């Protein structure tokens, strides 16, 4: 009889704890970071140490943002990907502008989402492909790996 109690005791505690968590009786960690704007979609301390990047299938874009202000953009034009480095700066609270010698993606406007949610969207992206154009809205999904030259 004592052996059954020893086994049932931990099982009963596990069941009770599971019920508490499922019913909201116990707190679980909550994400408290940004959910919009360029700081919400960072891929690491810098692009050189990033382990993720963002890909937009509907706009044929890939981007990577470092906390140090570094940026890599990748644009698909007629089946050919063109990757360029640059720097990004916040533009207001929800957008990012980029600069560099040959940056093809120069703006991400109205960023909503986060690295935590693994998705984000923009109402528009400024892209230079022979001429300046604005495309969007664009939806991005977080990808493993990094954009490298």
- 46 pLDDT band (50/70/90 cuts)? very high
Per-domain boundaries in the chain: 1-29, 38-144
**What's the pLDDT score for residue 55?**
98
pLDDT at 56 over 60: yes
Q: How far apart are alpha carbons 94 and 89 in whole angstroms?
A: 11
**Better-predicted residue by pLDDT, 55 or 93:** 55
Beta strands in 1-146 (DSSP E): 52-56, 61-65, 70-77, 80-91, 95-99, 105-109, 112-114, 119-122, 124-129, 131-135, 138-144
The burial of 67, by beta-carbon neighbours within 10 Å (0-12 exposed, 13-18 middle, 19 or more buried), is given as middle
pLDDT at 20 over 60: no
Average of per-residue pLDDT across 10-28: 48
**What's the pLDDT score for residue 10?**
54
pLDDT at 23 over 80: no
Average of per-residue pLDDT across 77-93: 93
- 18 pLDDT band (50/70/90 cuts)? low
Least confidently predicted of 10-14, 73-77, 130-134: 10-14
Q: Supply the pTM of this predicted model.
A: 0.78
């Amino acid at each position: 009889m004592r052996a059954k109690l020893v086994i049932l005791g931990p099982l009963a505690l596990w069941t009770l704890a599971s019920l508490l968590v499922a019913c909201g009786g116990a707190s679980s960690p909550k994400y408290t970071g940004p959910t919009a704007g360029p700081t919400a979609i960072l891929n690491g301390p810098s692009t050189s140490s990033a382990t993720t990047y963002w890909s937009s299938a509907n706009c044929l874009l890939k981007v990577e943002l470092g906390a140090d202000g570094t940026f890599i953009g990748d644009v698909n034009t007629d089946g050919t990907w063109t990757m360029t480095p640059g720097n990004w700066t916040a533009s207001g609270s929800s957008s990012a502008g980029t600069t560099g010698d040959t940056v093809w993606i120069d703006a991400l406007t109205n960023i909503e989402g986060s690295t935590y949610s693994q998705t984000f969207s923009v109402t528009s992206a400024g892209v230079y492909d022979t001429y300046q154009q604005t495309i969007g809205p664009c939806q991005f999904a977080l990808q493993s790996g990094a954009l490298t030259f």
